Structure 1
Amino acid sequence: MMEYIFVIIILFVCMLVYFKIADKYNIIDKPNHRSAHTQITLRGGGIIFPVAFILFALFNTNLFFNDYWAFGLGLMAICTVSFIDDIIDLSNKIRLSAHFISVILLLYCFGVFNAENLIPFWIWPVMFILIIGTLNAYNFMDGINGMTGIYSLVTLASLVYINQEIYQFVDKDLIYYPILACLVFLFYNFRKKAKCFAGDVGSMGIGFWIIGLITLLIIKTQDIKYLFLLSIYGIEVVLTIIERLQLKENIFEAHRRHLYQLFANEKKVSHLMISGAYALLQLIINAFLIHSNLSVWLIMLIIFIPAGGMYLGLKWSLKKEYNL
């Protein structure tokens, strides 16, 4: 317990130091046509997540060098490129190259390429597409105060429960440290007027960490139902992309078509209420998912039909109300 308290203190100090640096070098987020905020705010507060992993490595040296060094390199690579992208716009080629290398390191760390795992070659590209797609979904959904932090906290808490009560798939500290980082980040972000935003370094950093944990859980249990621990994000992003494709829009350009953006920008609902609602829905799904013995396909239908229907219904209602 004292170790975790000490880590929290260090993380708070690191955040305060970063605020000084960001303020001095003008690392800020200016509102634009995609933004759901109206004030200039410090960007890159999500740097707390790679810092938390560095602390994990320092306090768990044997674990890091024996088991998680490749995962750590992948996390640092994606966070470094994302932080640079927060300051200067990088090309898609550079970003995707970093994502590709990081995913290779993640999969290598968890033994996907080992001969004894006998994973068919054709599954590898599917895994790359799925992980990189989920990473970018995490980035797309990072648009309002509290969303990334509280949604991640719910997912991590679910992983803690699974690790303790269902199946121990990882050392507990690899879940606890991002939880501590989320709590510190939320202290500054889960506010009506946020002190800082996560930035790409935050959304990509915590997204990579959580996706890595879920990937390891699926490998260890051979149960793909745990993909649905991120199902709310998945439903939102996939349906939004389909809508934009139907409208013949460039899906790589900034937009305001996400449901949470419509609630925040048009309906003027509190960011904290929206973020809390998304996290609560995912928590309900996770509670059902963890204790369900149904087939994956049946679980998918039970989750996606009502959640997708609710999403489409709310989207249709808001678009009709505001003539969008």
Structure 2
Amino acid sequence: MNLLTLFIFLFILFVIELGYFRIAYKYRIIDHPNQRSSHFKVTIRGGGIIFCIVMLLSPFYIGWQYGYFLSGLLLISLISFTDDIKPISNKVRIGFHLGAVALLFNQLGVYSLSLYWILFAFIFVIGIINAINFMDGINGITGGFGLVTLITFYYINKTIITFTNTNLLILPILAVLVFNFFNFRRKAKCFAGDVGSVSLGFIILFFLLQLIIKTNNFNYLFLLMVYGLDTITTILFRIIRKENIFQAHRSHFYQFWANEKKAPHLMVAALYTIAQCIVNLIVINISALSVVNLILMTIVSVVIFVLIRLMTEGATRIFAVRA
């Protein structure tokens, strides 16, 4: 992609985003603060719709070789955007997620694997998509994570091993940059919404799975490490407290800092982004680990993160059963 084309796409994405703002204002697609929110003003919801839109525009620039992936992205984005407008039941949402991931797996050739690996892959991918969605709670965190992850994919694709179309990687990077212009600020103009966080998760997993399939290197799972540690430990603590892990909450580590400690949202988002960037640099520069060593490193990372949370949040907050 040359510089002129890059600026043309940036301009188109800004126009699309601003056009969406007008539609959202007209039809009241907005986020009202509630007791579980980390924000305090009415804000446009669904600004992350450009993540899906830019990928759906990609065939006009790079061709139609990713039809199944794009069909899955459209399917999961439609149900997520509908959920942003009017709440959808979990059963319906999961049904659409299964259909979207089924299309994604067809694109990646996953169905050549054994049945138990296919079942595991469905659980893993849908779980990660929803984890990324749940982590979208403060200004800048989704955009920061998305940008550093996609740029890491671009670097790997350009300098280490080619695993996907380079221009297909550039397009979501541009979309995240435009979204960050409106979201990575103290008073955000828009939130990603489910359509943004879910579609971004779907896009990231597409590239991640392409990379793992190409290299057979499961180290690259650590490109999700910071989000993964927050999500895994939060689920563990909620299970210990006998809470419904599928209900909305403010129990994530980043929410503790943003809500209880009143740390600036952008500072928390920046720290998460920097932490993931450091992890990514390590992942890029280490040799592939065996499955056993990968599991051991994951366990050690979880234990260390649990200890950090215990020292900062305190055992009472983490383990006390709440009414």
Shorter-normalised TM-score: what interval? over 0.9
Given that residues 144 and 275 in structure 1 are in contact (C-alpha distance below 8 angstroms), is that contact kept between their aligned partners in structure 2?
Answer: yes
Partner of 1:140: 134
Structure 1: unaligned runs, 5 residues or longer: none
1:301 CA drift (Å):
4.1
1:7 CA drift (Å):
0.6
User: Percent same amino acid at aligned positions?
Assistant: 44
Partner of 1:212: 206
Separation (CA, whole Å) in 2 of partners of 1:4 and 1:320: 50
1:300 CA drift (Å):
5.2
Partner of 2:72: 74
The answer as to 2:229 corresponding to 1:231 is no
1:320 CA drift (Å):
6.2
Separation (CA, whole Å) in 1 of partners of 2:26 and 2:119: 43
Structure 1 range deviating more: 314-323 or 130-139: 314-323
Partner of 2:58: 56
Structure 1 range deviating more: 50-59 or 130-139: 50-59
Counterpart pick for 1:292 among 286, 290, 293? 286
1:54 CA drift (Å):
2.1
The answer as to 2:307 corresponding to 1:305 is no
Partner of 2:15: 13
Seen in structure 2, the aligned counterparts of structure 1 residues 157 and 307 have a Cα distance that, compared at 3 Å, is farther
The answer as to 2:250 corresponding to 1:256 is yes
The answer as to 2:122 corresponding to 1:128 is yes
Given that residues 73 and 100 in structure 2 are in contact (C-alpha distance below 8 angstroms), is that contact kept between their aligned partners in structure 1?
Answer: yes
Q: Aligned ranges for residues 93-172 of structure 1 at < 5 Å?
A: 93-114=91-112, 119-172=113-166
Separation (CA, whole Å) in 2 of partners of 1:194 and 1:135: 23
1:208 CA drift (Å):
0.2
The answer as to 2:277 corresponding to 1:283 is yes
Separation (CA, whole Å) in 2 of partners of 1:43 and 1:252: 21
Secondary structure, counterpart of 1:144 in structure 2: coil
Separation (CA, whole Å) in 2 of partners of 1:299 and 1:153: 25
1:317 CA drift (Å):
2.2
Residue type of the partner of 2:192? A
1:40 CA drift (Å):
0.9
Seen in structure 2, the aligned counterparts of structure 1 residues 155 and 300 have a Cα distance that, compared at 3 Å, is farther
Residue type of the partner of 2:293? L
1:55 CA drift (Å):
2.2
Seen in structure 2, the aligned counterparts of structure 1 residues 312 and 34 have a Cα distance that, compared at 3 Å, is farther
1:34 CA drift (Å):
1.6
1:204 CA drift (Å):
0.4
Separation (CA, whole Å) in 1 of partners of 2:172 and 2:219: 23
Counterpart pick for 2:313 among 302, 315, 318? 318
Seen in structure 2, the aligned counterparts of structure 1 residues 315 and 140 have a Cα distance that, compared at 3 Å, is farther
Residue type of the partner of 1:4? L
Separation (CA, whole Å) in 1 of partners of 2:154 and 2:189: 28
Aligned length: 316
1:154 CA drift (Å):
0.6
Residue type of the partner of 2:26? K
Separation (CA, whole Å) in 2 of partners of 1:299 and 1:166: 21
Q: In the TM superposition, what whole-angstrom CA distance separates every residue of 1:101-144 from its partner, at most 9, and x where no partner exists?
A: 11011010011224xxxx22210000000000000000010000
Residue type of the partner of 2:198? M
Given that residues 235 and 304 in structure 1 are in contact (C-alpha distance below 8 angstroms), is that contact kept between their aligned partners in structure 2?
Answer: no
Separation (CA, whole Å) in 1 of partners of 2:238 and 2:302: 19
Separation (CA, whole Å) in 1 of partners of 2:273 and 2:296: 20
Separation (CA, whole Å) in 2 of partners of 1:10 and 1:278: 30
1:305 CA drift (Å):
2.5
Seen in structure 2, the aligned counterparts of structure 1 residues 226 and 261 have a Cα distance that, compared at 3 Å, is same
Given that residues 8 and 180 in structure 1 are in contact (C-alpha distance below 8 angstroms), is that contact kept between their aligned partners in structure 2?
Answer: yes
Given that residues 259 and 311 in structure 1 are in contact (C-alpha distance below 8 angstroms), is that contact kept between their aligned partners in structure 2?
Answer: no
Secondary structure, counterpart of 1:45 in structure 2: coil
Given that residues 51 and 172 in structure 2 are in contact (C-alpha distance below 8 angstroms), is that contact kept between their aligned partners in structure 1?
Answer: yes
Given that residues 77 and 102 in structure 1 are in contact (C-alpha distance below 8 angstroms), is that contact kept between their aligned partners in structure 2?
Answer: yes
Structure 1 range deviating more: 227-236 or 292-301: 292-301
Seen in structure 2, the aligned counterparts of structure 1 residues 303 and 276 have a Cα distance that, compared at 3 Å, is farther
Structure 2: unaligned runs, 5 residues or longer: none
Given that residues 140 and 184 in structure 2 are in contact (C-alpha distance below 8 angstroms), is that contact kept between their aligned partners in structure 1?
Answer: yes
Residue type of the partner of 1:12? F
Partner of 1:195: 189
Counterpart pick for 1:175 among 162, 169, 181? 169
Counterpart pick for 2:49 among 47, 50, 54? 47
